Amino acid sequence: MNDSRVWNRGRVLLMFILLLTATSCGFLSKAPEGSGTPVPVRSSEPQQTPVPTAEDPLKEMMADMTIEQKIGQLVISGVDGVQMDEHARELIDTYRVGGFILFKPNIASAGQTVTFLNSLKTVNAEAGGKIPLFLSVDEEGGRVSRMPDSFADVPAMQVVGKTKDNRMAADVGNVLAKEISALGFNLNYAPVLDINSNPDNPVIGNRSYGTTPELVGNMGVETMKGLASQKIIPVVKHFPGHGDTSVDSHIGLPVVNYDLERLRSFELAPFAQAFKSGADAAMVAHILLPKLDKTYPASLSPAVVSGLLRKEMNFGGVIFTDDLTMGAIMKNYGIGEAAVQSVMAGTDVVLVCHEYGNTIQVIEALREAVRNGKLSENRIDESVYRVLKLKYKYTLSDTETKTPDVQKLNTEIRQTLDKYKR
């Protein structure tokens, strides 16, 4: 059966499956209220790898996919320029990538961005794969913003955290979601759940809600829910915590020398709260934790990804790497080697944010790893299933987005934020 027909026909059935999964995993439970004790990290129930059933439309879809198409779903790529080009087209037509990420140089205006994303959707719809793309962006508010200059500003999360008002955190999540969905994006690498515990940290700072696990966990969960309420996929980051580092992982490899006892009581607590509150996706950082794994940074580490995140913390959602073109990886590994190691460790999606050649290297390395038996197709299938399930849950599609009324959107954003001005 044509996979586009399966995609559309299976929505109702999969929604039922997702509802059962959410109920059994506690995804529908309410987030802890107040600023009480951090949520314990340990889980009494083992992590369950998703197993498609005979009635599952995703199993039918996967059965019709080639291994090359499956591998493509595990890669999100950056693009060059501000419009569709031959490289972006080839990544869709030939390599069937699972999605794209745009940065500020790719976003010149609201109209241009909508046109760009619509062109990616159109090419994907015409390519025959018919699995909608992840169209992703880092839109945190404050200094990490990719929105056109014509959009109203959203404050840094440190400003939100200082209010200690969970309602503002939720409203900010809604505002961020409305901004990016207006342009056609469907996934946001936010909120930041790092605790700003090191004043010398060169990369987190005011991107964090604050200096305590309780504040970061409470407000981060509310922002996460605000994003999800507008059908934007939130990706909580940077697991297992980038707050107490003195090296920027964009440049080098940070080292965190804490043991599990410390991590459980502090860095991991906001993530534990988010997972208990139904987080669907998490990004793993390029930081080395020698007391957990002396060899590999967290993003490539079986001990961190499969051991800590999957098994101990019982996280069943989609696991993304941070960008593999960052200095922490590129200065220490070949990018193809890093991608293979990350998937072997248990990661579902690798981000390759810069340079077409890097994306091709990653895809070819993953293909070769399957050919030579280093990666099994069963291992690939586990991740593809999670990816398709997430795309289904958030009803991703290749339907074109209309150019937004920026003035109307800005009015709504400012009115929302003005409620919290002191």
Kindly state the average pLDDT of the residues 23-34: 34
Assess contact for 359 and 97: CB atoms under 8 A.
yes
Q: Is this model's pTM higher than 0.85 or not?
A: yes
Sign of CA dihedral 339, 344, 347, 348: positive
Task: Report the chain's mean pLDDT, rounded to a whole number.
Answer: 88
| Residues in Cβ contact with 189 at an 8 Å cutoff, skipping those fewer than 6 apart | 136, 137, 138, 140, 235, 237, 283, 320
pLDDT at 254 over 50: yes
Cβ atoms of 169 and 229 within 8 Å: the answer is no
Q: How many CA atoms lie within 13 A of 39 on its CB side?
A: 23
Active-site residue identified among 322, 323, 348, 398: 322
Instruction: Spot the catalytic one: 153, 165, 248, 250.
Output: 250
Query: Tell me, what's the pLDDT at 35?
Result: 36
Please compute the mean of the pLDDT values over residues 62-67 and round it to a whole number: 95
DSSP string of 115-133, one letter each residue = HHHHHHHHHHHHSS--PPP
> According to DSSP H, which parts of 52-165 are helical?
57-63, 67-72, 86-93, 110-126, 157-163
Residue 74 — very low, low, confident or very high, per pLDDT cuts 50/70/90? very high
Q: Is 242 a catalytic residue?
A: no
pLDDT of residue 128: 77
Q: List the one residue out of 357, 115, 16, 44 whose CA is nearest residue 365.
A: 357
* Average pLDDT over every residue of 9-36: 41
* Among 76, 47, 50, 70, residue whose Cα is nearest residue 339: 76
DSSP state of 295: S
Q: How confident is the model at residue 1 (pLDDT cuts 50, 70, 90)?
A: very low
Separation of alpha carbons 5 and 9, rounded Å: 6
For the stretch 105-120, pLDDT in tens is: 999 999 999 999 999 9
Distance of CA 120 to the CA centre of its chain: 19
Q: For residue 16, which amino acid is it?
A: F
DSSP codes, 188-199: E---B------T
Residues 6+ apart with CB under 8 A from 176: 139, 140, 141, 154, 188, 190, 223, 226, 227, 232
Q: Is 138 a catalytic residue?
A: no
User: Mean pLDDT across the stretch 18-36?
Assistant: 37
Record the tokens describing residue 268, joined without a space: 């991991």
Phi, psi dihedral angles at 237 (to 5 degrees) = -150, 165
Across residues 291-304, what is the average pLDDT? 97
244 three-class SS: coil
Which of the two residues, 166 and 20, has the higher pLDDT score?
166
CA angle (19 as vertex; 15, 23 as ends), nearest 5: 170
* Residue 396 structure tokens: 């991703």
Give pLDDT, residue 246.
55
- Mean per-residue pLDDT, 259-284: 97
